[in-house]
């Protein structure tokens, strides 16, 4: 058996080292990752993918911690992918998450991994989706993806997850105003965490007013759940509402529809990634891009003809 084949069977046997190694390969976009994912993909589609997004410090990790407890009590296997926008090695938040989740990390029924974002481009890195497939194939029942809700990430998470929780805290009225437009389609459930703080009622009213402004195309009415994650309060209600939403997804046929959308997006993302890498590899030498940029700045050339010229070289 070669190395990659061993790694693949390690994933199916839920070996932590094999899983960790495979996710690293995916992050590095290696040829091995491609082999692993091709073998793993047919065994996916069983896990519940739970997205949780919100501002830094809103209590996402604390909520995740509580949710792990609930799912583990039901005998479910839980994996967490924590996406940190800063460096995964220097981010203080991640260190805090690690310490908090340490108790769980000793439990073989949970797997916790932090991952970097795509960097300046923002959004979920393609490796995050790959990691979710690897964990799904390892037969984790629930995969929780925690992302910081800044711009593109929260839109991406809604496209990837079966259920998306948007976490807010009292006193964030201005923030929901700016989220206004997309908020309904992004959040399936809205969590007002830190409900021990002042301004909960006002927050709830503002959010409720926003949610009643529009109706969702799937007919689901997003619920608002108040929690105090620190005191484990409201978590049972959150869990019940997650179940109510997944039941709705099945009943209404929306799960199938969303799955089709997700796969469509996945195909486009992969194609985009491979095409760009292919074009850059095949047609450009070191320094070419920089030279083009200089010519464009000097108005000797325009970006439109440069792109046409590059594509022509590969027959497009
Ligand atoms: N007062 C209060 N503090 C909380 C609550 N939930 C979490 N926190 C605290 O808020 C801080 C940030 O929590 P964390 O889970 O790391 O937030 P994240 O950045 O969204 O993952 C931590 O100090 C938590 O202990 C809550 O319900 N009430
Ligand atoms: Mg966190």
- Is the minimum distance from the CB of 230 to ligand 1 under 6 angstroms? yes
Q: How far is the CA of 140 from the centre of ligand 2 (A)?
A: 21
* Helix count and strand count (H, E) for the chain: 14, 7
**Which ranges of the chain have pLDDT less than 50?**
87-96, 120-122
- Quote the pLDDT of residue 238: 98
Token pair recorded at residue 285: 């030498």
Ligand at minimal distance from the CA of 59 is: 1
Look-up: residue for tokens 């839109």? 155
Task: Kindly state the DSSP code that residue 259 receives in the 8-state scheme.
Answer: H
Question: Across-strand partners of 164?
Answer: 51
In a mutational test of the pocket of ligand 1, which residue from 91, 229, 233 has the highest number of ligand atoms less than 8 Å from its CB?
229
In ligand 1, the atom with minimum distance to the C-alpha of 64 is 15
Q: How far is the CA of 241 from the centre of ligand 1 (A)?
A: 21
- Is the minimum distance from the CB of 53 to ligand 1 under 6 angstroms? no
- Is the minimum distance from the CB of 228 to ligand 1 under 6 angstroms? yes
How confident is the model over 200-259, as pLDDT tens digits?
A: 999 999 889 888 887 888 889 999 999 999 999 999 999 999 999 999 999 999 989 988
Q: How far is the CA of 306 from the centre of ligand 2 (A)?
A: 43
Cα–Cα distance, 269 to 30 (Å, whole number): 17
Q: Could you tell me if 100 and 94 are in contact, meaning their C-beta atoms sit under 8 angstroms apart? A: no
In ligand 1, the atom with minimum distance to the C-alpha of 233 is 27
Token pair recorded at residue 279: 């074009």
Concatenating the DSSP letter of every residue in 242-296 gives: HHHHHHHHHHHTHHHHHHHHHHHHHHHHHHHHHHHHHHHHHH--TTHHHHHHHHH
Cα–Cα distance, 165 to 223 (Å, whole number): 10
- Quote the pLDDT of residue 157: 75
CA angle 148, 152, 154 (to 5 degrees): 50
Token pair recorded at residue 144: 């929780």
Q: In what order do the strands lie in the sheet with 189-192?
A: 110-116, 78-84, 142-148, 48-54, 163-168, 189-192, 223-226
Instruction: Cite the beta strand spans of the chain per DSSP E.
Output: 48-54, 78-84, 110-116, 142-148, 163-168, 189-192, 223-226
- Quote the pLDDT of residue 92: 39
- Quote the pLDDT of residue 215: 82
Taking each helix axis from N to C end, the angle separating 126-137 and 31-40, rounded to the nearest 10 degrees, works out to 40
How confident is the model over 247-256, as pLDDT tens digits?
A: 999 999 998 9
CA angle 66, 68, 127 (to 5 degrees): 120
Q: How far is the CA of 143 from the centre of ligand 1 (A)?
A: 21
Cα–Cα distance, 171 to 169 (Å, whole number): 6
pTM for this entry: 0.89
Q: How far is the CA of 269 from the centre of ligand 1 (A)?
A: 34
- Is the minimum distance from the CB of 95 to ligand 1 under 6 angstroms? no
Question: Across-strand partners of 163?
Answer: 50
């Amino acid at each position: 058996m070669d190395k990659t084949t061993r790694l693949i069977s390690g994933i199916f046997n839920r070996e932590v080292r094999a899983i960790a190694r495979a996710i690293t390969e995916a992050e590095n976009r290696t040829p091995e990752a491609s082999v692993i994912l091709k073998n793993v993909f047919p065994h996916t589609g069983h896990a519940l993918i739970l997205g949780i997004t919100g501002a830094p410090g809103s209590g996402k990790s604390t909520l995740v911690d509580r949710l792990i407890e609930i799912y583990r009590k039901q005998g479910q296997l839980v994996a967490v992918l924590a996406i940190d926008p800063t460096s995964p090695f220097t981010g203080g938040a991640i260190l805090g998450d690690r310490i908090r989740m340490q108790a769980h990390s000793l439990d073989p029924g949970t797997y916790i991994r932090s991952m970097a974002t795509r960097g300046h481009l923002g959004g979920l890195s393609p490796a995050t989706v790959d990691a979710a497939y690897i964990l799904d194939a390892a037969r984790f029942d629930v995969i929780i993806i925690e992302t910081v809700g800044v711009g593109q990430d929260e839109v991406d998470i809604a496209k990837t997850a079966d259920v998306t929780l948007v976490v807010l805290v009292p006193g964030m009225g201005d923030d929901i105003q700016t989220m206004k437009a997309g908020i309904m389609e992004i959040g399936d459930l809205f969590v007002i965490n830190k409900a021990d703080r002042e301004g909960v009622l006002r927050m709830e009213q503002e959010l409720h007013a926003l949610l009643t402004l529009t109706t969702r195309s799937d007919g689901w009415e997003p619920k608002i759940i108040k929690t105090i994650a620190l005191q484990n309060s409201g978590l049972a209600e959150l869990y019940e509402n997650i179940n109510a939403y997944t039941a709705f997804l099945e009943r209404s046929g929306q799960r199938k529809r969303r799955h089709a959308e997700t796969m469509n997006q996945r195909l486009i993302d992969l194609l985009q990634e491979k095409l760009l890498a292919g074009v850059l590899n095949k047609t450009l030498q070191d320094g070419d891009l920089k030279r083009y940029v200089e010519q464009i700045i000097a108005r000797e050339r325009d970006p439109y003809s440069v792109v046409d010229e590059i594509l022509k070289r590969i027959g497009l």
